[in-house]
Amino acid sequence: MIDGFTVLAVRGIPDVQPGDDLAKLIVTAAPWLADGDILVVTSKIVSKAEGALADVPPGGPEREEARERILRSQTARAVATRGHTRIVQTHHGFVMASAGIDNSNVDRTQLVLLPEDPDRSARALRQALRDEYGLDVAIIVSDTMGRPWRNGLTDVALGCAGIEPLRDHRGETDPHGNELQITQMAVVDELAAAAELVKGKIDRVPVAVVRGLLTATRDSNGVIPTLIRDAEHDLFSLGTAEARAEGRREATGT
């Protein structure tokens, strides 16, 4: 148990372009980085550095048609549609609006896609900071998502390296002697949300540092294999399937 930690904004990172060295940009803006820090990096700058961009017309119906084609290419499964809002599952397994496609803080002729493999991106950035600057830090690649049954958005982890995504309390006992059966805390999601408080959405602060939480970094399996729930264990997917089955029964009278 810890008594607290600090979240620090990394200011001064310029507009990222394809091919930019993220490790260099971050260290230049934050020469005070130290071993054990956790860097929470907005997925957008990872995508831009990796060239995960799609060209679109600057306006008109052609732009919307191009965006629709790109959305289809990034979609593994449509989850829900209401008006112009499309909730889909990406090829990574994330369920989010518009497959995470973003048109903010980018030229009108481009859209920003999610990184192809956010865990791999996190590992690469961690390795670069270690090899080039001798820093042993953890990395969380974050993005913003909505949540079922709740208004408002929060940042969550898309990828990580050097930190375990979950803190597993199963088998432990609480102060009353009750054994915990299912408690697994999504630590990287909690840290992504905390970091967003100093990054914001309009201040152009794409990186934050969490300090005082880790004493040592470690290898991990990453977000996608750890936090993405298998469909057969996902009650939200089950609810959708049940609703469809009920609709078919009502329509056919069986």
Question: 132 or 219, which is more confident?
Answer: 132
Q: Per-residue pLDDT averaged across 48-53, rounded?
A: 97
- Nearest residue to 162 (alpha-carbon basis) of 207, 222, 107: 222
Count of Cβ atoms closer than 10 Å to residue 1 Cβ: 2
Q: Scan for tokens 């993220």, then name that residue.
A: 22
CA atoms of 159 and 161, how far apart (whole Å): 7
Residue 99 · residue 75 · CB < 8 Å: yes
Tokens of 73: 């290419």
Q: Give the model confidence (pLDDT) of 59-108 as tens digits.
A: 999 999 999 999 999 999 888 888 888 899 999 999 999 999 999 888 89
Q: Give the model confidence (pLDDT) of 99-114 as tens digits.
A: 999 998 888 999 999 9
Based on DSSP, count helices (H) and strands (E) in the chain, helices before strands: 7, 12
Structure confidence at residue 192 as a pLDDT band (50, 70, 90): very high
Instruction: Quickly list DSSP for 1-63.
Output: --S--EEEEE--PPPP-TT--HHHHHHHH-TT--TT-EEEEEHHHHHHHHT-EEE--SSHHHH
Q: What is the DSSP letter of 198?
A: H
Computed over every residue of the chain, the mean pLDDT equals 88
C-alpha distances in angstroms, 102 versus 52, 74, 97, 244?
11, 12, 10, 31
Residue 204 · residue 183 · CB < 8 Å: no
Q: Give the class (CATH, top level) of 6-51+115-252.
A: alpha beta
Sketch the domain layout of the chain as residue ranges. 6-51+115-252, 53-113
Percentage of the residues of the chain whose pLDDT score is greater than 70: 87
Query: Does the pLDDT at position 218 exceed 90?
Result: no
C-alpha distances in angstroms, 105 versus 56, 202, 206?
15, 9, 11
Quote the pLDDT of residue 235: 63
Quote the pLDDT of residue 245: 66
Under CATH, which number does the domain 53-113 receive? Answer: 3.90.1660.10
Query: Does the pLDDT at position 3 exceed 90?
Result: no
Query: Does the pLDDT at position 239 exceed 60?
Result: no
Q: Give the model confidence (pLDDT) of 123-171 as tens digits.
A: 999 999 999 999 999 999 999 999 888 999 999 999 999 999 987 655 6
Q: What is the DSSP letter of 170?
A: T
